[in-house]
């Protein structure tokens, strides 16, 4: 890629980043995250904007499902092999250990835990999300490969729950990321969580588990909501 092309691309990317994001950056930006010019190993000067990358302002691509029977078959496989990200975002995660241990044993239903977002399809938002965690959750969600599913536990994700008046926790999860299945309870019992997985399987088999594409379609709206409350977009390296 020539220098000119590179510069054009960078400029194009910068134009796409929105103005209010920049405003937020002004107050909370680490020196190493500042937009700046660096000398590439080949001697050319390129502009970099780390915040832009962390921020994932890049609109995700909408990935079309395959057609007909093939998609149905793949959906069946997806439904029977759900890999859940092991990220306990809130207190509901205390009910995950019973699920992976003898009492409830969700492995027999094809549900397993994975430690990294790259390999997970399902994300259990286990209750309230503080803004600090939300930032990580969004990044994690964007790291997860499509198709991906979100299970939201408890009152907190629906309308704020106990923490409806807290300055630190969000009230409605669906404003920030699309949610497939809500499970009522504070916190939901493991049995309810299993029932939620069953519902998720049903949805996937019916071809309704396409919330990742919805996120891509309404990306601007979701991002605008996220930016409203997350002021500090500095993201430490390798932190999900």
**Both tokens of residue 164?**
């409806």
Nearer to other proteins, 7 or 225 (CB): 225
**Of the two residues 49 and 111, which places its CB atom closer to other proteins in the complex?**
111
- Phi-psi map region of 93: left, alpha, beta (phi>0 left; psi -120 to 50 alpha): alpha
Q: Which is nearer to other proteins, 17 or 171 (CB)?
A: 171
46 vs 65, beta carbon nearer other proteins: 65
Which residue, 105, 122, 127, 115, is CA-closest to 194?
105
For other proteins, the closer CB: 15 or 67: 67
Min dist CB 112 to other proteins, Å, is 7
In terms of Cα–Cα distance, which of 155, 199, 148 is closest to 178?
148
Residue 184 CB neighbours (<10 A): 11
Q: Which is nearer to other proteins, 11 or 80 (CB)?
A: 80
By DSSP bridging, strand 122-125 and strand 149-153 are: parallel
Nearer residue to other proteins within complex by CB, 68 or 238? 238
């Amino acid at each position: 890629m020539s220098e000119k092309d590179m510069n054009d691309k960078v400029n194009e990317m910068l134009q796409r980043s929105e103005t209010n994001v920049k405003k937020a950056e002004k107050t909370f930006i680490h020196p190493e995250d500042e937009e700046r010019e660096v000398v590439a190993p080949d001697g050319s000067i390129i502009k970099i904007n780390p915040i832009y990358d962390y921020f994932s302002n890049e609109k995700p691509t909408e990935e079309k499902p395959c057609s007909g029977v093939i998609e149905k078959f793949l959906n069946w496989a997806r439904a029977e092999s759900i890999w859940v990200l092991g990220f306990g975002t809130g207190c509901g995660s205390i009910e995950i250990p019973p699920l992976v241990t003898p009492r409830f044993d969700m492995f027999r239903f094809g549900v397993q835990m994975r430690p990294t977002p790259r390999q997970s399809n399902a994300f259990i938002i286990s209750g309230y999300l503080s803004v600090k965690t939300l930032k990580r959750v969004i990044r994690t969600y964007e790291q997860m490969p499509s198709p991906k599913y979100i299970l939201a536990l408890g009152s907190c994700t629906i309308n704020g729950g106990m923490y409806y008046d807290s300055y630190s926790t969000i009230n409605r999860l669906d404003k920030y990321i699309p949610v497939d299945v809500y499970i009522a309870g504070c916190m939901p019992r493991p049995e309810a969580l299993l029932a939620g997985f069953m519902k998720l399987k049903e949805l996937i088999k019916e071809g309704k588990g396409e919330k990742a594409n919805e996120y891509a379609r309404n990306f601007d709206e979701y991002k605008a909501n996220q930016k409203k409350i997350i002021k500090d977009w500095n993201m430490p390296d390798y932190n999900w």
